Amino acid sequence: MAFALIAAFSTLANTFWVMLSTQRAELVENALQTNEAYAARVADSLQGVLTSDLDRLRYAADSIGESFSDQRSLRKEAYRLLRQDRSFNSVLIADADGKVVVSAPGSMRLEGQLLQNRLPLSKREPMISDAFQSLADHLVVFVSHPVFDRNKHYLGLVGGSIRLQQKNTIQALMDQNVREDGAYIFLVDSQRRILYHPDPKRIDEVLIGSSLVDAALAHSNGSMQALNESGNEVLAGYARIPSSNWVVVSQQPLASIQASLEATAKRVAKGVAPLGLFGLLMVWWIGRKISVPLSLLAENAKRLDAPASYERISAIPADYIESWQIRRALLLAANLLQEKIGRLNLQAQSDPLTGLTNRRGMDETIGLWQETLRSFAVISVDIDHFKAVNDTYGHGAGDETLREVARLMKQASRPDDLVCRLGGEEFALLLPNSSISVAKEVAERLRAVVASAQFETVGHITISLGVALWKTGEPVTATFEKADQLLYRAKALGRNRVVCDNLNLQIAG
C-alpha cells in the first residue's frame, strides 16, 4: 500500500513537472524569436531613415559641387537641408582641410573652425559616425557625404548632425516601439555607447563587459538569454543596422516568463489536486484488493506524455468501480496532456504570421513522404519587389501582403497539397503524387490569381515561381535547389512568370 501511494503521488508530480517544463521551454523560445523579430523590424526602419538622410546629403553634394566657392549658394543649400524635414539638428559644409565653410543655424557660429571628427575627410565616402562630442559640445552622430567637382576633385563634405540628448528623428522612431511587461528596446553604436534608451539618463553610457552587447556587435542578427547590465536575466534579440554598424537590442525580463508559468502552474494545480487526492484516498481504502490494477495504472501514468499512453491505460482491466474511476482520471489527464502537446507541436510547426506550415513542419512531412516513397513536386514562390512594398508602405502593410498571399496560395492549392512559408517573402507549395505538368498548371493558376488580386494598401503585386519534381533516390535538397534556381531564372527573365524543370518550360504573365 505504501508503494502504491508513493507511485500515485510521483505520477501526479511527474505529469505536472513534464507539462510545466514543456511550456517553459516553449515560452522562452517564443520570447527569443519575438524579440529577434522585433529588433530586426526596428533596425530595418532605422536603416530606411539613415539611408534617406544619406540620399538627401548626396543630392546636396551634387548640387554644391558646381558652386563650392559661392558662399551664398552654400548657405542656401545648408538651410534647405536643415528645414527640409527636420531630420538634422544642424547642417555644415566643410572644405577639404576640414574647415567649416558654412553652418546652419547661424547661431552655432562654427565658420572657420576645424571639424572634430576628421574620419569622413580621410575616407571621402558617405558615412554615419558613432556618437561623439561636437564643436558645440553636444553629443551627436554625424551623417556626411563627400563633395566632388565635375572633374572628381575632392572639395570637402556636407553633413548633418543629430543630437542624441535632444528630440530627434531617431528618438521619435524608437519611441513608437513601446513594449510592455518590463520589455524595452535600446540602440548602441559600434563603440558600445548607448544612442537611445527609454531612460534618457542612460544615453551616452558605454556598456563595457556586457555579453549581450558583445554578441550583438559580433553577429548581424540573433537572440540569446543573458544577464543585462543590472545583473538580471533577460531574453533578448538583436539586429545590426548595415549602414552605420549600430545595433538594436530588444529585451524582456526572464521574470515575466516565470510569472506567466507560475500562474499556469497554479491553475493546473487547482484542477489536478482534487482528483489526485481522491485517487490516493481510494488506494488507501481498498488496499490489497486493488494492488494489481493500481500497479499497472501507476506504471503507465509515468508516461502520460507518450503517444500510446491513452491506449495502454484503456487496456488495463477495471473490475470494480474504484479502479474504473482512477483509470478514467488518468485517461482524462493523458488526453489533456496530449492535447496540450499537440497544440505546442502545432505552434512549433506553424508560421506565426501567416498560419502556414513552417520549415520544421515541412521537413517532417517530407520525411513521411520519403518513407512511403511518395513522389512530390516542389513549387518555389517569391514575391516580386517585396522590399519595395516594405520601404514604400511600411512593414505593417508588408505583413498584411504576406498574409493575403498565403490565403491565395491555400485557395489555389489542392486539399492534399502542403503550403509553407520558408521565411521573409519566400514560400513553397508541395504537391504529393503530382506530375510536372500538373504542378505547372497549379503554379500558373496561382501566379494568375495573385497577379489579378487587389491587395489592400499596396494594390497589385506579382510573384515568380520555379517548379521541380522530386523522384525516389534523389536528395530532397537537390530538388529544392533546382526549384530555387528555376525561380531565380523566372526573376531574371522579367518576373511574374513560372519556369518549370522539364524542357525549361516557361510561362510568363
197: left (phi over 0), alpha (psi -120 to 50) or beta: beta
In angstroms, the CA 77 to CA 401 distance is 40
Residue 480's nearest CA partner among 366, 379, 375, 343 is: 379
Q: List all residues 6 or more positions away from 1 whose beta carbon is below 8 Å from its beta carbon.
A: 283, 284, 287, 288, 291
Helix ranges (H only) for 71-112 are: 71-84
- H or E segment to which residue 113 belongs: none
In angstroms, the CA 156 to CA 124 distance is 8
Number of residues that this document lists for the chain: 509
In angstroms, the CA 245 to CA 128 distance is 9
Angle formed by the axes of helices 71-84 and 2-64, to 10°? 150
Angle formed by the axes of helices 395-412 and 2-64, to 10°? 120
247: left (phi over 0), alpha (psi -120 to 50) or beta: beta
Residue 334's nearest CA partner among 355, 364, 356, 314 is: 314
Q: List all residues 6 or more positions away from 500 whose beta carbon is below 8 Å from its beta carbon.
A: 436, 439, 440, 443, 466, 467, 468, 486, 506, 507
In angstroms, the CA 467 to CA 27 distance is 37
In angstroms, the CA 381 to CA 398 distance is 16
CA 319, 321, 322, 323 torsion: positive or negative?
positive
- H or E segment to which residue 41 belongs: helix 2-64
Residue 197's nearest CA partner among 229, 222, 220 is: 229
As given in the structure block, the three cell numbers for residue 284 are 488507501
Mind telling me the catalytic residues? Answer: 425
Give all strands (DSSP E) within 342-460, no chain letters.
Answer: 376-383, 418-423, 426-432
In angstroms, the CA 246 to CA 251 distance is 16
Residue 251's nearest CA partner among 27, 32, 44 is: 32
Q: Are 377 and 467 in contact (CB under 8 A)?
A: yes
Q: How many CB atoms lie within 10 A of CB 382?
A: 21
Distances (CA, A) of 206 to 140, 169, 282, 451: 15, 22, 64, 51
In angstroms, the CA 483 to CA 378 distance is 7
